[in-house]
Structure 1
Amino acid sequence: MKGNEYAIFESMLSSADIKINGSRPWDIQVNDVAMFDRILADGSLGLGESYMEKMWECKDIAELINRILAFELDKHLDLRTKMILGAKIGKDKIKKFFNPQGTTISKHNVAFHYDIGNDLYRAMLDKRMTYTCGYWKNADNLDNAQEAKLDLICRKLGLKPGMRVLDIGCGWGSLMIYAAEKYGVVCDGLTLSEEQAKLGTQMVEEKQLPVNFILRDYRLYEPETKYDRVVSVGMLEHVGSSNYRDFFTCADKFLNQDGVFLLHSIGTFESTETNDPWIHKYIFPNGEIPSLAQLATAMEPEFNMEDLHNIGEDYDHTLCAWYRNFDKAWQQGDLNYNEKFYRMWKYYLLSCAGAFRCRELSVWQMVLTKVGTPKPASARSK
C-alpha cells in the first residue's frame, strides 16, 4: 500500500476521532495493511470482508461504524478518492432487466438468511423468537423489550377477541402467538421460510392456539374471506422498491373496509434502489430499505396514514442484545459454525447497531386505514 493512501485513511479516521492502532474501544487495530487497499477497491464490501479475513480488529464495532457514518467521512475526501471509495457498478441499470424480488427469487433470498439454522436464532433471539426491533421505553432486558413491542402493535391495531388477523412475513409467529394468547384473535401468517414455518407450527401446536402458517408469497395468496386486521413486521425490507405498489395493493385486498393495517419497517432518509454491497452479499440478498417518500407514493390511493412512530434508536439496543446472546452461545460451543461465520455474523449485528445509533436508519410503525373510513380509536393521540 502506498504511503499517501495510508495517510488518507489516517487523516480521515482521525477526523471522526478514530485512531489506527489506538487504545480506545472504537479504534481500529490493523493486522494487515492490505485492508486499506481492499477498502479503496471495494468500499463497504471491502471493509466487511477484510474484517471477516482478520485483517483488522475492533473492540467496539458498533461505535466505530457509528462514528464513520455520523461524521460522513467520505464527504471529507477529495473527488478522486471519493470515486475510488464509492464507485458503483451500475446496479440500477442491471435491475431494469429483472425483478430481484420476484416470486421465485424471493423464496431463494429468504432461504439464504432465515433457513440457515433455527439453532442460531434460538440462541440469539428472545424467548418468543422475535427477529425485529424491540421496544425499550420501559424495558431492561430483551424478553421484556420484545413483549413490549408485540403489545404495542396489538394495542395500535385495536385487537378484540374473535378478530381475524393476517401477518404478512410472520417469521416464527411471535406476534401471532402473542396476539392469540393475550387478545383472543385468530391468526394466519404468510412466510417463505420452511424452517420458520416448521418451528412456528410446533410452538403453536404445543400451545393449541388458533394460529396457522401458510408457505406462500403474499402476491400469490388468495384468502377465502377478508381480514379484520393486517400486519407486517420487518418484512418490507425484502419486498423491493419495484414491488412496493403491489405490496400495498395486496394489503388493501386482504383487509376489510373498516380494517386496520400496521406496517413495521426499517426506513432510510433517502430514496434508493440499492442495498449495501456487504449486506447484499452475505446477509440479505436483494434487500432494500424504503424511504417515506417511496412508501407514501406506493400506498396511493388506498391508504390514509393515521399514525407514524419512529423507534429506530431501540434497534441499537436490540442488535447489541442479540450479539451478546450470539457471542455467549458461540463461546460456550453451542453453535456449529466456523470462525469466519462468527466474524461475519458479529460484524453484521454490530455494524447495523452502529447505523441505527447514528440515526442513519430508522424503524417506523405506521397505522394505516382505507381511504374514507373513520379513524380507529387505537390510532388516536395517546
Structure 2
Amino acid sequence: MRLLSGLLKKFIRNGRLRVYDSAGAVHDFGSGIDGPTVTIRLHDKALSRKLALNPELVAAEAYMDGTLTCEDGATVHDFLELFSVNRSGLASAGSQKLLRRAWRGVKRWQQANPLGVAAKNVRHHYDLSTDLFRLFLDDGLNYSCAYYRDPETDTLEDAQQAKLVHIAAKLRLEPGMHVAEIGSGWGSLAIHLASQCGAKVTAINVSPEQLAISRQRVEAAGVADRVTFFERDYRDIEGRFDRVVSVGMMEHVGTAYFDTYFAKVRDMLTDDGFAMIHAIGRMTPPGTTGPFIRKYIFPGGYVPAMSEVFASLERVGLWAADNEILRLHYYYTIRHWRQRFAARRAEAAKLYDERFCRMWEFYLSAVELGFLHGSNMVFQLLLSRQRDAVPIVRDYIVDAERAMTDARSTAAPQAAE
C-alpha cells in the first residue's frame, strides 16, 4: 500500500478518498474541500501496487472485475468525478509522466487503422447488439453529440433532432443534391437529409449490424429510393458529390491517416461543393488515447487536437470555411445516456453480463466527465475546395435552422390531426 499511498497523497488535492485495503485498514487522502468524498475497498492485496503503476487502466479493470468496489453510498461516477477534479495532480506524478511518455512513443502503432484493421476496430464497438444501444439512446439511435438549446429543459430527443436540423442548415441543401455520408450510424442523418431536404444520399459504414438496421429504417421512412447504404471503408468511396458529411467518424481514423481522410473528402467534392465534419476534439496539444478506452471501448480511436486537424487541412489544400466549437453539448448528451443506462441496467445485464455493465458504467461516466472537467469538446468544420463555395456570412445557417424548425413545428399539429 506504500507505493499507492505515495501517489494518492500527491494526487488527491480536491475532495477526499477513503481507501480500505485488503487487510481492512483505512487510509484517507485529500482535504475534503472542493470535491466529493468517496470510499472504496480493495479486495486484492496485489491491487494497490498495480494501481500505483497504471491507475487509469487498473482502476477500470478492478472495478469491472469486482476487486475494487465503491462503498458508503458512493458510486463509480462519484469515484471518477473525484479523479476528474484531480486530473492535473495525476498527470504531474513522476511515474505517470513516464507512462504517458511511453504511450506517446507507440501512439502511431496504437492508432494504426489500415484497410481491414479499421473495420475490425469499429466493429468491436458498433457491432454490439442494437438492443443495448436502444436502452439509452434517443428513438433515432443517434450515437453522437446532440445540440442543446436549453440543457435544463431539452429532452435527449429534442437535442438530437436539433442536431440533425443544425447540420442540415449548415449543408445548405437543395432538392436533388447528392450527399455522401462517411460513417452513417443507424441512418438517422441520411433519413433526415432525404426526407426533409430532398437530397439523394450515398452512405457508407463498416458495421454490418448498423447497416442492417439502417436499411430497415429507410424503408420504414419511405426514402429507400433516395438513400443507399454500402458496407465500405471511406478510402474506397468513388464519385464526386455536392456535399460530404461525416459525423463521429474522424475519431476512428488515427493520426497517421488524417491526410488520407481529408484528401478523400477533398477529392469527393465537386468544385463548388463543401463538406461538414463533426468530430470530438481536444483543446490541448496532441496527446494519446487513455488505456481503458483504447483497450475496451474504441481500439484504434483517437481524439485529435485542433492543431493536428488544421495542419492536415493545410497539407491537403482544403479551405476551412467555418469552425464551430460545441464545448458542453456532449457533456449534456452523455449525462442523459448515463442516466438512461442506469435506469435500465438490469436489461443490459440480461443482454450481456455484470462485468459488461460495470465496464459500460465506467465508460459512460469517464467520457461524460471528460467533457465537463477535461479537455474534450466537439468541433464542426465546413471545408471546401474553393474559397467561395460556402457563403461568406454565416447568417444563412441561423436563417435555415429557424425556417426548418418553424416548418417542423407547423407540420406537427397537422400530422396529429
Range that drifts further, 27-36 or 240-249: 27-36
Is the aligned partner of 1:215 residue 2:226? Answer: no
Letter in structure 2 aligned against 1:44: E
1:88-126 deviation digits (Å, cap 9, x = unpaired):
546634846x97100110111011100011111122211
SS at match of 2:390: coil
Mapped partners of 2:313, 2:97: distance in 1: 36
- 1:293, CA displacement in angstroms? 1.0
Give how far 1:159 is off.
1.8
Cα distance in structure 1, aligned partners of 2:247 and 2:131: 22
Change (3 A) 1:370 1:94: closer
CA distance in 2, matches of 1:52, 1:159: 46
1:20 maps to which of 10, 15, 18: 18
Q: Is the 8 A contact 1:65 1:351 kept in 2?
A: yes
Question: In structure 2, what is the equivalent of residue 154 of structure 1?
Answer: 168
Corresponding residue number in structure 2 for 1:358: 373
Query: 2:324 aligned with 1:313, yes or no?
Result: no
How far does residue 377 in structure 1 lie from its aligned partner after superposition? 6.2
In the alignment, which residue of structure 2 is the partner of 1:290? 304
Give the TM-score of the pair, scaled to structure 2.
Answer: 0.82
290-299 vs 52-61, which deviates more? 52-61
Alignment partners' CA distance in 1, 2:121 and 2:347: 30
Q: Which moved more, 1:345-354 or 1:25-34?
A: 25-34
Contact 2:325 2:380 in 1 (8 A): yes
Q: Tell me the equivalent position of 1:57.
A: 70
After TM superposition, give the deviation of residue 61 of structure 1 in Å. Answer: 4.2
Give the letter for the 1:143 counterpart: E
Q: Within 5 Å, give how 1:1-20 maps onto structure 2.
A: 1-2=1-2, 5-6=4-5, 8-10=7-9, 12-13=11-12, 15-20=13-18
Distance 1:214 1:155 in 2: 25
Deviations 1:9-65 (CA, angstroms, capped at 9, x unpaired): 15522x121332699866242243754322212231112112212213274545644
**Does structure 2 retain, via aligned residues, the 8 Å contact 1:244–1:298?**
yes
Contact 1:264 1:366 in 2 (8 A): yes
Q: Which runs of 5+ in 1 are unaligned?
A: none
> Aligned match of 2:209 in 174, 177, 195?
195
Distance 1:162 1:377 in 2: 24
Structure 2 letter corresponding to 1:328: A
User: Which of residues 105, 109, 112 in structure 2 aligns to 1:92?
Assistant: 105
- The CA deviation at 1:324 is 1.9
Q: Which moved more, 1:257-266 or 1:130-139?
A: 130-139
Q: Give the length in aligned residue pairs.
A: 374
Alignment-mate amino acid for residue 129 of structure 2: G
Name which of 32, 56, 68 aligns with 1:44: 56
C-alpha distance in 2, partners of 1:140/1:195?
30
Name the SS of the counterpart of 1:20 in structure 2: strand
Q: Secondary structure at the match of 1:259?
A: strand
Given that 1:323 and 1:346 are in contact with CA atoms closer than 8 Å, whether structure 2 keeps it comes out as: yes
Task: Indicate the larger mover: 150-159 or 310-319.
Answer: 310-319
For 1:240 and 1:308, how far apart are their aligned partners in 2? 21
- Cα deviations by residue, 1:328-376 (Å, 9 ceiling, x for unpaired): 2223568411000000001001110011001421111111222333432
Stretches of structure 2 lacking an aligned partner (at least 5 in a row): 20-27, 399-417
TM-score (norm 1): 0.89
The code of the aligned residue for 1:261 comes to A
Distance 1:262 1:60 in 2: 39
Residues in 1 aligned to 2:17 and 2:52: alpha-carbon distance in whole angstroms: 18
Look up the SS of the partner of 1:371 in the other structure: coil
Is residue 103 of structure 1 aligned with residue 124 of structure 2? no
Say if 2:147 and 2:163, in contact at 8 Å, map to a contact too.
yes
Structure 1: how far apart are the matches of 2:96 and 2:127? 37
Contact 2:139–2:157 (Cα < 8 Å) also in 1 = yes
- Alpha-carbon deviation of 1:152? 0.5
CA contact (8 A) 1:158 1:377 kept: no
Q: Secondary structure at the match of 1:167?
A: strand
Q: Aligned in 2, Cα 1:359/1:76: closer, same or farther, shift over 3 Å?
A: closer
| Structure index of larger Rg | 2
- In the alignment, the residues of structure 1 paired with residue 369 and residue 283 of structure 2 have an alpha-carbon distance, to the nearest angstrom, of 16
Over 6 Å off, 4+ runs: none
Counterpart of 2:90? 74
- With over 3 angstroms needed to count, the CA separation of the structure-2 counterparts of 1:148 and 1:191, relative to structure 1, is same
Q: Which has the higher contact order (CA 8 A, sep 6+)?
A: 1
- RMSD value over aligned CA atoms? 2.6
Change (3 A) 1:62 1:366: farther
For 1:186, the equivalent position in structure 2 comes to 200
CA distance, structure 2, for counterparts of residue 115 and residue 362 of structure 1 = 25
Of residues 335, 339, 346, the one that matches 1:324 is 339
Q: Contact (CA 8 Å) 1:302, 1:371: kept in 2 or not?
A: no
The structure-2 alpha-carbon separation of the partners of 1:273 and 1:359, relative to structure 1 and needing over 3 Å to count, comes to closer
Identical-residue share of aligned pairs (%): 28
Contact between 1:329 and 1:335, CA under 8 Å: does it hold in 2?
no
Q: Residue 371 of structure 1: which of 364, 370, 386 is its match?
A: 386
Which deviates more from structure 2 when the two are superposed, residues 151-160 or residues 235-244? 151-160
Superposed, 1:219-230 pairs within 5 Å as 219-223=235-239, 226-230=240-244
Aligned partner of residue 301 in structure 2, secondary structure: coil
Alignment of 1:124 with 2:122, yes or no, is no
